[in-house]
Amino acid sequence: MSDRPLIRFDSISKTYPNGTVALSDVGFSIGAGTIHAICGENGAGKSTLMKILSGLEAPSAGSVAIDGVPARLDSPRAAAVLGIGMVHQHFSLIGSLTVAENIMLGQEPRRGPFIDRAKARARVLELASRYNLEVDPDARLSALSVAAQQKVEILKALSRETRILILDEPTAVLSPPESEELFRRLIALRGQGLTILFISHKLKEVRALAQYVTTLRAGRVSGDASMAEITDDEIARLVMGEAATSDIAPPAPAEAAPLIVVRGLSLAGNDANDRLEAIDLEIRPGEILGVAGVDGSGQRGLVKVLTGARRADSGTVLWDGEAIGVADTGALRRRGMAHLPADRFREGGARHMTLTENAVAGMHRAFRLGPFLKMDAMADRTRGIIERFSVRCPGPFAPLGALSGGNAQRIIAAREFGTRPRFLVADQPTRGIDVAAANFIQDQIVALARSGCAVLLLSADLDELLRLSTRVAVLYAGRIVASLPNGPELTPARLGPYMLGLETAA
Partner 1 sequence: MIRNIAAEAMLTLVVIAVVVGAVLVPLALTQPDPLGVVSTFLLGPFKSPRHIGNIVELATPAMFCGLGVALILRAGMFNLGAEGSFFLGGLATVAAALWLPLPGPMLAPAALLVGAVVGSSVCVVPGVLRARYGASELVSSLMLNFAALFIGLYVLNVLLRDPTAGAMVSYKIPAEAKLPRLIEGTRIHLGTVMAVLACGLGALYLFRTAGGFESRIVGANPSFAAHLGLDADRIGLRAQIIGGLLAALGGGIEMLGLYQRFSWQALPGNGWTGVTVAILARDHPGLIVPAALFLGWLQVGGDLVARNFDVPNEAVGLIQALLLVAVTAAALTRNPRLLKAFGARRSGDAA
List residues near partner 1 by CB under 8 A: 16-18, 20, 22, 42-43, 45-48, 307-309, 328-334, 339, 341, 346-353, 357, 361-362, 364-365, 368, 371-373, 375, 397-399, 401-404
Alpha carbon distance 35, 92 (integer Å): 23
452 Cα distance to chain centroid: 28
Which one, 184 or 352, has the nearer CB to partner 1? Answer: 352
Closest by Cα among 296, 265, 307 to 416: 307
- Closest CB 46 distance from partner 1, rounded Å: 8
- Closest CB 246 distance from partner 1, rounded Å: 24
Q: What interhelical angle do 146-158 and 176-191 show, nearest 10? A: 20
| Phi, psi at 165, each rounded to 5° | -115, 125
Which one, 133 or 445, has the nearer CB to partner 1? Answer: 445
Which one, 156 or 333, has the nearer CB to partner 1? Answer: 333
Which one, 113 or 330, has the nearer CB to partner 1? Answer: 330
- Closest CB 302 distance from partner 1, rounded Å: 16
Which one, 202 or 364, has the nearer CB to partner 1? Answer: 364
257 Cα distance to chain centroid: 34
Which one, 125 or 353, has the nearer CB to partner 1? Answer: 353
Q: How many beta carbons lie within 10 A of that of residue 97, not counting itself?
A: 15
Alpha carbon distance 425, 337 (integer Å): 8
Which one, 19 or 68, has the nearer CB to partner 1? Answer: 19
- Closest CB 50 distance from partner 1, rounded Å: 10
Give the single-character DSSP code of 174: S
The identity of residue 135, as a single letter, is V
Alpha carbon distance 293, 502 (integer Å): 12
Alpha carbon distance 435, 42 (integer Å): 8
- Closest CB 394 distance from partner 1, rounded Å: 9
Alpha carbon distance 239, 202 (integer Å): 11
- Closest CB 3 distance from partner 1, rounded Å: 29
- Closest CB 359 distance from partner 1, rounded Å: 12
Contact 13, 60 (CB under 8 A): yes
- Angle CA(14)–CA(18)–CA(23) in degrees, nearest 5? 20
- Closest CB 415 distance from partner 1, rounded Å: 9
Across the strands, what pairs with 220?
217
Which one, 393 or 490, has the nearer CB to partner 1? Answer: 393
Q: What count of residues does the chain have?
A: 506
